[in-house]
Chain A
Amino acid sequence: MSAKTRSARLTVLGLTVPGLLGLAVSFVLPLAWLLRMSFNRGDSTGLIEETFTLDSYAQFVGDSYYWDMAWETTLLGLGVTVLTIVVSYPIALFLVRTESRFKGILVALAVAPLLTSSVVRTYGWLVLLGNQGVVNQALMGAGLVDQPLALINNRLGVYIALVEIMMPYMILCLLAGFGRFNPELEHAARSLGANRWRTFWRIVWPLSMPGVLTGALLVFVLTISSFVTPRLVGGGKVFYLATEIYDQATATLNWPFAAAIAFILLALFAVVIVIYQRALRRIEAQ
């Protein structure tokens, strides 16, 4: 090995070590501690017995209540992801196609909600969707409904609020993923005899897949790990894994059980990331 490559390796090492060290201290160590915690025995009094048991996992697996919760969490992740794609895609496509000189401003506006914390935006949705909220007032004022619709304190409200909160992330991913797209490709497809519908499904959609996949991964992960919005808009009446972890840790004080649920959620993440990697490899092989 020449002196030059050795010094290059030292440089790489020197640049990587601080980051790795930071990750190790702030992420890996707490995670290891959490994993250890999930094997302790806890009870509702808050006492934690240092031991090595699978009790917490057994409690989860043995109770259909938690299976339902895991299922609802997965469903929420998938549902919010699909809905977010459906409402974000037209916006992203418009932003890619537009030749407006305000394009930069329009893109900034589309992602501007990220400047506000999701807690604040959740409260915004409570105001909008509540019984006295703008939506119900408008519907009743127009004579479309006699009684306010139940739009909060249920799963419907959680879906609505989460989809809106996730949209900027999805739009950003879609915009980045449209890299290989160029409006002239649509013109080419049309000139070759494809109508708008077939042009979209044969050309636009396949070319947007990298962005769709990245956005889907991000939104799914953010959704199933979010607990402020499900907690507030759900009004404590709907339960997901993330809200349950919070409840177990802060209300029930059963830390080992909270830790076990956290690792089950982490396993769900792992499954999704594997699926994402495979899908991405398939697209790139095309």
Chain B
Amino acid sequence: MSFLQLDDIVKEYPGTERPSVADFTLGIDQGEFVSLLGPSGCGKTTTLRMIAGLIEATSGRIHLDGKELTRTPVHQRGMGLVFQNYALFPHLNVARNVAFGLEMRRTSKAEARRRVEEALDLVRLGHLSGRRIKQLSGGQQQRVALARALVIEPSVLLLDEPLSNLDAKLRDTMREEIRSIQRKLGITTVFVTHDQDEALAVSDRIVVMSEGVIEQVGTPEQIYEHPANRFVANFIGRANLFDAEITHTANGVAELDVAGLGQLRAVDDHGAKGPATVLVRPHRMQLSKAAAGDAHGTVETVVYVGDSIEYGVRVGDATVSVQSVAGAAERLERGASVRLSWQAEDALVLT
């Protein structure tokens, strides 16, 4: 059993067609940083709130460090929560917000003062302890919320979309900061986000969810390079999905007959013959100029974005995205006839 173990967690609301969360089973190790990633309505926040005890699971069990806490009320779980809207107490100043959890634990005044100071120093807000909440910027408020959750030395840190109310630049800084604090303290962390870049950048493991169920669990590399299905492939990064027919498989490489592109090869862990879907990321596609009779398609859009050029290539009814390094290759114009291909190791057969 893992440090934080969730078994067959189900959450159903009466009068809804499908459960918000269905058969959620996941083990999280001590010190691990796990992201729950998915589009809105996928059940990630509901799952987080069931771990916190704010929502009661319809069925299933939650164990923390070997002890069951499925029925333990929220205030006895000792988990640290950070909310999307910060949820700082507006009538208390920064230090008293951070001290709240310690007061509830009847920590002695002297020790509370020391720990509040430590927590505020950790988030680099030691100089603002006397400020009122409404005098703080969004990023500062988020840091106070983090300090308030950490000061109680929680067994688990739960972060509910903590960065989504911050502007883009601050988001990146805060995400690095959260990750480095998490590493320093070695605290087990569950992080809810809908932003795949965020999840890829900070997580030890990512849990991709959709419509209440887990689609895939894996490291960022696994999720990106070996998505388990079409949903994950589409949700994480940009993806070209091709319909193909597998004609032959040997040593984990499939020979394919790809609609509109002809004979190509791809990595295949399944070994089954017949119809399949092939995933190729735009930057792994190869594009070359061709004579009109020999071409697969025509260039429909050309977008220069500095680091690279993004082409949209019309192949039959579909549009294929190709990203090529700017300047490295000959630049193609709109309307050019082109051939498309890829290296076998850059393509993956999906189930």
State the A residues within 8 Å of B (CB).
180, 182, 184-185, 187-195, 198, 202-203, 206-207, 286
| B297 within 8 Å of A (CB atoms) | no
B104 CB contact (under 8 Å) in A180, A182, A192, A207 = A192
Report the interface size for chain B: residues with CB under 8 A from the other chain.
27
Are the CB atoms of A184 and B83 closer together than 8 Å?
yes
Are the CB atoms of B83 and A198 closer together than 8 Å?
no
Are the CB atoms of A193 and B75 closer together than 8 Å?
yes
In the assembled complex, how far is the CB of residue A56 from the closest CB belonging to chain B, in whole angstroms? 47
Alpha-carbon gap, A182 to B90, bound state (A): 10
Which B residues touch A184, using CB under 8 A?
83, 85, 87
Are the CB atoms of B101 and A193 closer together than 8 Å?
yes
In the assembled complex, how far is the CB of residue B18 from the closest CB belonging to chain A, in whole angstroms? 20
| B114 within 8 Å of A (CB atoms) | no
Are the CB atoms of B54 and A189 closer together than 8 Å?
no
Are the CB atoms of A203 and B89 closer together than 8 Å?
yes
Are the CB atoms of A193 and B104 closer together than 8 Å?
yes
A188 CB contact (under 8 Å) in B73, B77, B81 = B81
Are the CB atoms of B81 and A191 closer together than 8 Å?
yes
In the assembled complex, how far is the CB of residue B77 from the closest CB belonging to chain A, in whole angstroms? 8
State the B residues within 8 Å of A (CB).
52-54, 73-81, 83, 85, 87-92, 100-101, 104-105, 148-149, 152
Are the CB atoms of B87 and A192 closer together than 8 Å?
no
Which A residues touch B87, using CB under 8 A?
182, 184-185, 187-188
In the assembled complex, how far is the CB of residue A125 from the closest CB belonging to chain B, in whole angstroms? 38
Are the CB atoms of A194 and B75 closer together than 8 Å?
yes
Are the CB atoms of B54 and A187 closer together than 8 Å?
yes
Which A residues touch B104, using CB under 8 A?
192-194, 198
Alpha-carbon gap, A184 to B148, bound state (A): 15
In the assembled complex, how far is the CB of residue B22 from the closest CB belonging to chain A, in whole angstroms? 23
Sample 9 A-B pairs with CB under 8 A, ordered by A number. A184-B85, A185-B89, A187-B83, A189-B100, A190-B73, A192-B148, A192-B149, A193-B78, A207-B91
Alpha-carbon gap, A189 to B90, bound state (A): 12
Alpha-carbon gap, A188 to B87, bound state (A): 6
Are the CB atoms of A286 and B91 closer together than 8 Å?
yes
Alpha-carbon gap, A180 to B132, bound state (A): 14
Q: Which residue of A lies closest to B100 (CB)?
A: A192
